[in-house]
Structures are given as C-alpha cells and as structure tokens.
Chain A
C-alpha cells in the first residue's frame, strides 16, 4: 500500500463526518492559534522595546546619582543629588579617560509650560550642545542648543514635536515664538524630528534648554539627574564603565566601590532587563496557551477511540483480507496526524491573522518568526502521534474474529 494511498484513504474517511472532524480539530486550532499569536505579539513587544532603547543611542553609558545597591531604604533612582556639572566636566577632561567620545550632562524635571494661552506639563531637559549627537536627536527646523547658549545661560528652548502640537497646534512652526517655562520667558530656537515611541518614555514630549539655564534660573540646583557618556565603540563599553566609575569614586572621595553614591548603566543593561521581562511574559502566556494544546490532544484521542469502536467491523474485515498490525496502526495514526496537522495549519493561519490585527490596533511592529511556524507544525504533528497512538494500537490489537462478529 503506497503512502499517498494511505493519506488519500484517511482524508476520504475524515470527510465522511465533516462536523465531527471539524469539532475534533477545533481544540488544536485554538491551541496552536493562541500560541502563535502570543509568541508573535511577545516578539513584537520585545522588538518595540528594543527599537525604543536603541533609538536612545547605542554604546551609551548612563551615570545616575544614588547607589545601585542602596540600603534598606532606597531613594528613587535619580533622587539623590550627588552628581554635578563638574563631574561631567571632569569625565570630559580627565587624562584617565581614554575610551570616551562625548559626555552629556543632563538635568530633567517635569514642569508647567505655557504659550499663546495653551499650557502643558512636560519634561524639561537641561542639556549641552553635545546632547543631540549623543542621543541622536535631529532638528527639523531652526537649530539645537549651541555652546554659546550654554555659556551665556541663554533663555532659549528646543521643542519636541509633541510639545509643538500641544502648545501651538499641529503643523505650525514655532521658531522665533516665545514660551513660558515655570513663569520665565524662553525663545524657541528649534524643533526636533519626531522619534516616535509611545511606551514608557515619549521622546517627542520634551523641551531642551541650556543646562546652565536649567540649573541656575529654572530649578536652582547644582546637581544633575544623569550624565550620558558615549563610549568610542561597543567593544570598550566595559572599560569605559570602569574608567568613569573609578574617576567618580576618586572625585567623591570614596575608596570602596560598594559605597558608590552613583550608578552606571549601559544601554545593554537596560535592553537585557527589558528583554528578559518581555521574554518571561511571552513564555508565561505561551505556556498557558500550550495547556489548551494538551486539551485539544485529548479531544483528538477521544474522537479516535470512538472511531475505532465504530469501525470495529471494518478493522476485522481488513485483517481478514490480509492487513497486518502495522497497516492498521498506520491507517489510524495517519488519520489522527492529519486531524492535528490540519488543525495546526488552520490555527497557524488564524494566529498570524490575529497577531497582524492586534499589532495594528495597538501599534506594535508585527513579527512572526520562522521558529514559531516550525513549532506549530512540529507540535501539531507530534500531538497527532502522541494522542493517536493509543487508539491506533487498540485498533491493531483487535482479533479478526471478534471484530467481524461485532455488531
């Protein structure tokens, strides 16, 4: 008996009772569909988080005030006031530092901003001229902050596109207009290009002002909320982290690194943390979906057992006509594999469709991996074998006389 004939015969048998065949595969369809959709959405989320973090600038180290280890009571990240503009200057000029390109001291706070009768609450970042290079900020009109603005504590501001929309309306060019930040008047000198991103930090909803202006005029502080340090390449990240760390320990007169009053993260650290969080969620959700696969498999086994009982006479006849055990096993196993395999293919199609729709709706990048397709096909086939084996074995073990007598 040729293999193609076995398959043809199985398909013929399965199409006799279409409703039953459909209901039997439904469990697998739902199981595979939800696993595929969840893996796809998980990967989409991961990709979106990665894109956002990468867009903040690669080979970047972020120095934050406050200990990363902390004590029993730990202040929120960035709440300490141990980093100063002088620290940033020292990193730039120190002879101990050999692996660093740019240093961007930053002071950011949320504050109230008004212009032409509109007001909004937004992130105001005190920055230097190097900020745009370190964080890959591009200008769509006007200019970014210059060294001249920094030195002169100029009351100038560069707006993110979201702020422009909020204060001046969409599509207007505010360059040359004035806005009030915390009651002080600033002249708009530029607008940045949209970076997109909706997640945990909207990079379009910010205002950049000179760091000196931010420290002295706006917030009245000498401290920084962070120093972004750009390493020369990704390969020297670890070395750069050490160099900056030891320099700051020395400047802060600390001998024990565990007592450090600052912490240094690389973009990779943040990326890894974010990835592992989304990865865990994806695995968890897929695991729950996989349970429905097992339930689907039991459904297949149930229906195959019913089929074997129903077709006892047929099995007896086939044996009387010369079918060997392996012929009967193959016949029933192929039937259950076709059931689960068809369920797997349909489930995959539905899962992909669902994840396309969902990722459209919540604006995630759509992502489907070759691996999850292989997984769907492999798992559905394996379920067919696993849950079809027992009914097939039962069929093949029937004695021909008993089976022929069966009414």
Chain B
C-alpha cells in the first residue's frame, strides 16, 4: 500500500547540502504495524514528513494507495493529509481552549462532512478511546494520556489508510503510555495500518516490524 522507492531528501543551506535521506526504499502493506527507529538526526523525522505528505522528496517515488505523492501541489497534499493520513504527534497538538469534541471534529470540517454526521462520528471515536465522559473538556483539563487519546480519536475520524504516530508516548507517563500502545494494538487488530516513529526500543517492541534508519539510510 505504501511504496517508497529511492527516495532522497536534500536540504540546501547556501552552498552546503545536507543529505537527510539517501535513496531509501521500502514498502508497507495494508494492516501492518511498523515502527521506524533511529537515533536523532538519523533522518527518521524527514521520512515521517514525507510519509505524512507534509513534505515532498527531492528525488524518488512515494506511492500511497496507488497514488504518486511526490509531485502534488500544496492543496492536493492537503487533501491527502486530510483523507488518507491520521496524525498523532508527540506534543498532541490539540487546539487550546477548544473542547475535545471540537478538536476531533476539526479534520471533518476541512473534509466537508455534513454537520450532523460530524458530531455522531466524533462521539463514536471519543467513546472508542474511552473519553465519552470528557468530550466537553478542553486540553488544559485533560491529562497527557487523555490528550493523546483525543488526538488518536481525531486521527481516525476520516477513516485514513494509515495512522502516522510521531513519538506518540514521548510526552506521557509510562503507565499511560501503555494505554496508548494498547489502543494502537487494538486499532491494528481491527485492520488499521499503523506507522510509529520512536527512539525507545521498548515502545518499538509493540510493533510487528521495525525499520531502522541511520544516517539517512535503512539499516537491517
């Protein structure tokens, strides 16, 4: 479902070229639970940005659901991010002063889901992550683990092809981190494809497969 072929990303600062990704190739099938591991500066964040359609590769091909992503316009990329990718960030990235429910509804607003439907879908997913009693709480009124569960609910509402989690437990106490990993495992069992970026080996263990990145290359 995901095919990355000879993808390179080169950043230019003046005359100096930094190679963040060097001809990386791999593929991920539907329903997989993959961890991408590597030390900081290894290029795993760059890889995540490309997988998440937040950035485009300098060269190479990235195919998502049979669609070539590398040469799309800004608005087309926005569409891909909206429909096909569910993001879970390390720092949760919820809108402050906005209820959990409204945060979960946000991607559906950009997708043009009818108003009545949005509410039903948002409630369903908040219920799934065990927050049906905290829908009207703002992020400030929720614990780190609860905020991340809101973010997971938000990533699911448009039924994306992949859930892309960037250090999802990085800012969470370890007991709550296990809850988060349980949710990912449950989602994976239900058939969701999950790609998780982490530098913690014990978190990576939850995944079924691990891709190691070092110096912009995949190592095995």
Chain A interface residues (CB < 8 Å from chain B): 1-2, 5, 12, 16, 313-314, 317-327, 399-401, 404
Bound-state Cα–Cα, A323 to B93, Å? 15
Residues facing A in B90-140 (CB within 8 A) are: 93, 95, 97, 106-107, 109-112, 115
Shortest Cβ distance from residue A7 to the other chain B in the assembled complex, whole angstroms: 13
Judge whether B87 is part of the interface by a CB distance below 8 angstroms: yes
Given the known A-B contacts A2-B115, A322-B107, are A404 and B93 also in contact in the complex, defined by CB atoms under 8 Å? yes
Bound-state Cα–Cα, A283 to B154, Å? 56
Shortest Cβ distance from residue B110 to the other chain A in the assembled complex, whole angstroms: 4
Asked if B93 and A317 make an inter-chain contact with CB atoms under 8 angstroms apart, the answer reads yes
Given the known A-B contacts A314-B95, A317-B93, A401-B54, are A324 and B109 also in contact in the complex, defined by CB atoms under 8 Å? no
Given the known A-B contacts A313-B93, A401-B49, are A325 and B74 also in contact in the complex, defined by CB atoms under 8 Å? yes
- Across the two chains, which residue of chain B brings its CB closest to A397? B74
Asked if A321 and B49 make an inter-chain contact with CB atoms under 8 angstroms apart, the answer reads no
Asked if B109 and A325 make an inter-chain contact with CB atoms under 8 angstroms apart, the answer reads no
Closest 6 CB pairs of A and B: A322-B82, A322-B110, A1-B109, A321-B107, A324-B78, A317-B93
With a CB–CB cut-off of 8 A, which chain B residues contact A325?
74-75, 78
Bound-state Cα–Cα, A162 to B146, Å? 85
With a CB–CB cut-off of 8 A, which chain A residues contact B107?
321-322
Judge whether B6 is part of the interface by a CB distance below 8 angstroms: no
0/1 string, B154-173, CB within 8 A of A gives 1: 10000000000000000000
Asked if A400 and B54 make an inter-chain contact with CB atoms under 8 angstroms apart, the answer reads yes
Bound-state Cα–Cα, A64 to B167, Å? 96
Shortest Cβ distance from residue B58 to the other chain A in the assembled complex, whole angstroms: 14
Bound-state Cα–Cα, A2 to B105, Å? 13
7 A-B residue pairings within 8 Å (CB atoms): A317-B93, A317-B95, A322-B107, A324-B74, A324-B75, A401-B55, A404-B89
Shortest Cβ distance from residue B69 to the other chain A in the assembled complex, whole angstroms: 14
Judge whether B44 is part of the interface by a CB distance below 8 angstroms: no
Bound-state Cα–Cα, A320 to B94, Å? 12
Judge whether B5 is part of the interface by a CB distance below 8 angstroms: no
Residues facing A in B29-76 (CB within 8 A) are: 49, 52, 54-55, 74-75
- Across the two chains, which residue of chain B brings its CB closest to A1? B109
With a CB–CB cut-off of 8 A, which chain B residues contact A320?
52, 54, 81, 87, 93
Bound-state Cα–Cα, A323 to B106, Å? 9
Judge whether B192 is part of the interface by a CB distance below 8 angstroms: no
With a CB–CB cut-off of 8 A, which chain A residues contact B93?
313, 317, 320, 404
Shortest Cβ distance from residue A180 to the other chain B in the assembled complex, whole angstroms: 85
- Across the two chains, which residue of chain A brings its CB closest to B154? A321
Asked if B81 and A322 make an inter-chain contact with CB atoms under 8 angstroms apart, the answer reads yes
Extra A-B contacts (20), CB below 8 Å, given A313-B93, A322-B82, A400-B54: A1-B109, A5-B109, A16-B97, A317-B93, A318-B110, A319-B78, A319-B81, A321-B82, A321-B106, A321-B110, A321-B154, A322-B81, A323-B110, A324-B75, A324-B110, A327-B110, A399-B55, A400-B81, A401-B49, A404-B89
Bound-state Cα–Cα, A5 to B102, Å? 12
Given the known A-B contacts A313-B93, A401-B54, are A323 and B78 also in contact in the complex, defined by CB atoms under 8 Å? yes
Bound-state Cα–Cα, A326 to B54, Å? 17
Bound-state Cα–Cα, A16 to B138, Å? 14
Shortest Cβ distance from residue A213 to the other chain B in the assembled complex, whole angstroms: 87
Which residue of B78, B89, B97, B115 contacts A322 across the interface (Cβ within 8 Å)? B78
Asked if A321 and B54 make an inter-chain contact with CB atoms under 8 angstroms apart, the answer reads no
